[in-house]
Amino acid sequence: AHKIDEVTFHHEDRDPTKPWKFTSNDGRFNMTLMPIVPHREKLNFGLIYLNSSLLHGYYSGEIILDSGEKVIIKDLLGHAEDIYWRW
């Protein structure tokens, strides 16, 4: 197992068709998710609120292992989601 520091994702909230970027605090994880199937949903029922983005696409980037070896990822199919619920 390899320990990577906290990973944060960055995306344009108003446009889910733009790439999402994922970076770690220690600089060992750097990925971009290029969308092929974006999905957004917003529901507002007063007390119940949902704002979600689900993105399917291809990951590309690099991961640096504990040994210092760099692993290059190219067009790995995957998904990510950003969900905010209130109830």
Residue 38 pairs in a beta bridge with: 55
CB atoms within 10 A of CB 65: 12
Predicted model pTM: 0.81
pLDDT over 80 at 16, yes or no: no
Q: Who's near 4: CB < 8 A, 6+ residues apart? A: 24, 26, 28, 29, 63
Cα–Cα dist 26/76, whole Å: 23
Return mean pLDDT, the chain: 92
- pLDDT interval class at 35 (50, 70, 90): very high
- The single residue listed with the structure tokens 């040994």 is 67
Mean pLDDT of 29-42: 92
